[in-house]
Amino acid sequence: MRASCTQAAPTGESVATAKRFAEQVLRLLLEVVDRRRSSTHLRAHTDARVLAAINTMLAQDLVPGRGLGSATLTRVKLTATQDGAAEVFASYQRGPRTLAIAGRIESTKDSWRLVAVRMF
């Protein structure tokens, strides 16, 4: 069971920081699932369960649309929540197809972490 965050929802400057983090971690995620980087590059930015899920997806070749070419992040949106976290919604392009990523980031003492992710 995960401990709940006691911090307030991100506002103002912290929303901008959260969005920058989300964009960076999702670009890194796409590089990892395209096998342009090792999944160890995600370790500092993700929850251990997220990293394990990504490694499983890679090992079982379950990356959506991978045969269509390299992935390019096209849009990232955030919805702040009341517990020091934000829901992340993103789209990315693979060849002629547009695909989606959904996830959740949570604030820590000095940064953000990706704690849930789903690729469609």
Q: Is residue 8 part of a domain?
A: no
State pLDDT tens for residues 14-54: 788 899 999 999 999 999 999 999 999 999 999 999 999 99
Spatial contact of 84 and 10, defined as CB atoms under 8 Å apart: yes
Nearest to 92 by CA among 113, 116, 114, 68: 68
Q: What is the percent of the chain with per-residue pLDDT over 70, rounded to a whole number?
A: 89
Structural domain that includes position 97? 13-119
pLDDT value at 9 more than 80: no
Q: Is residue 36 part of a domain?
A: yes
CATH of the domain at 68: 3.10.450
Q: Is residue 31 part of a domain?
A: yes
Total count of domains within the chain: 1
Nearest to 101 by CA among 80, 81, 72, 69: 72
Q: Is residue 3 part of a domain?
A: no
